[in-house]
Amino acid sequence: TFLEPKVTCTPQVATGKLKLDRQALSLSIKTQSHHLQRSYSNQFHSSSLYAPLLDGSPNSPVRSEDIPVFRLDDSVAQVETSHLNSGTLQQDIEASGELGIILVHGFGGGVFSWRHVMGVLARQVGCSVAAFDRPGWGLTSRPSRKDWEGKELPNPYKLETQVDLLLSFCSEMGFSSVVLVGHDDGGLLALKAAQKVQTSMNSFNITIKAVVLLNVSLSREVVPAFARILLRTSLGKKHLVRPLLRTEITQVVNRRAWYDATKLTTEVLSLYKAPLCAEGWDEALHEISRLSSETILSPQNATSLLKAIEEMPVLVIAGAEDAHISLKSCQALASKLVNSRLVAISGCGHLPHEECPKALLAAISPFIHRLLHKPE
């Protein structure tokens, strides 16, 4: 558990700036081989913090049409940590039970995707922060159909199965209440978990206090079209398909997702390529592609989902230059939720946790602090 003085600042439209304590962080990069056998990763400890290395971004116009948009720029988004008492925060957490923040990555990501924000967020808000690799991604094993069917287990790649896995993970970590932070289709997973807790018998004994959605759409096919074509090719020819498929996934997850391509370093690319070398990765991706229609909700299902959690606090975060999910789409999503706030990050594409981590933290930390200290 990380404890840090409370953050009181909130993003302001008028100034567009927040103040930052530029305290240096220790940097300890763990090699990919160190994690090869891990199916999930729990809280970061101080010895494994990743420093937020990505700096500023150019300004860009941000439209505000349906609902107000709080605008942040990663080059100026900063967090003020003075005038606060960490002891008070710890007492509040203990009084309300163990609260955790769970980070749920999207298509092509993994625990490594959160390296710039995970430890810092834990220190800023004084809560445990945990993340895990979803089935088929990161460095999890890639079970084949015969593996789960032979043991009469549910398909681990199905969205509903992953909802149960997510809630079980929260319970296993010892959290009584959580804030779910989901990116891309990980956001849909977070929403469905909240819906399940709100509308059914909660056998997991988990309370979901809020949801944070990063670049989320309820009507987007997450598996790119060319990859779907390749995946329909006979897997008997996979020695021919693999290089093309690996290249296509890497291109979509990275080069087309970043607004400022100069921030996409060789080191970042290697992190995203490594999971595509795990045994059975292509078979797992084939199954994910086969089930990808689950991420495209019908209007009726989308309405039902949002209705179930409409009064839950929701923070919707958009990259103003996201080439995959438009700001207008994020505005429309936020407008359907009674208790929502929308933050658009200027000069940011589809991966705010990679491209603009400081601005992302400046949006999330105050939101969570308001939850922690809201009178019952």
The domain spans of the chain are: 32-220+299-372
Query: Within 10 Å of residue 194's Cβ, how many Cβ atoms?
Result: 24
**Two tokens at 266?**
């060789």
Distance CA 193, CA 187 (A): 10
Distance CA 282, CA 249 (A): 11
**Two tokens at 162?**
């992953």
Q: What is the pLDDT along the chain (376 residues), one digit of tens a residue?
A: 322 333 333 333 222 222 222 232 222 222 222 222 233 333 333 222 222 222 233 333 333 333 444 555 565 444 333 223 333 444 443 444 589 999 999 999 999 999 999 999 999 999 999 999 999 999 899 999 999 999 999 999 999 999 999 999 999 999 999 999 999 999 999 999 999 998 876 678 899 999 999 999 987 655 555 555 555 665 545 665 677 677 767 766 677 899 998 888 888 888 988 888 899 988 888 888 888 887 788 888 999 999 999 889 999 999 999 999 999 999 999 999 999 999 999 999 999 999 999 999 999 999 999 998 754 4
Distance CA 180, CA 11 (A): 20
Determine contact, residues 213/191, Cβ cutoff 8 Å.
yes
Strand partners, 99: 177
Distance CA 180, CA 271 (A): 24
Determine contact, residues 100/129, Cβ cutoff 8 Å.
yes
What DSSP designation does 251 have? I
Distance CA 6, CA 96 (A): 16
Of residues 86, 61, 63, the one with CA closest to residue 73: 61
Using DSSP's 3-state secondary structure scheme, residue 103 falls into strand
- 85, amino acid identity: N
Tally of residues, the chain: 376
Of residues 164, 146, 209, the one with CA closest to residue 367: 209
- 245, amino acid identity: L
Of residues 302, 105, 341, the one with CA closest to residue 218: 302
Distance CA 157, CA 153 (A): 12
Residue indicated by tokens 């991604």: 137
Residues 6+ apart with CB under 8 A from 28: 47, 48, 49, 50
CA atoms within 13 A on the CB side of 179: 23
Distance CA 208, CA 188 (A): 14
What pTM was computed for the model? Answer: 0.74
Q: Which CATH number fits domain 32-220+299-372: 3.40.50.300, 3.30.1300.10, 1.50.10.20, 3.40.50.1820?
A: 3.40.50.1820
Let me know if 119 is exposed, middle or buried by CB neighbors in 10 A (0-12, 13-18, 19+): buried
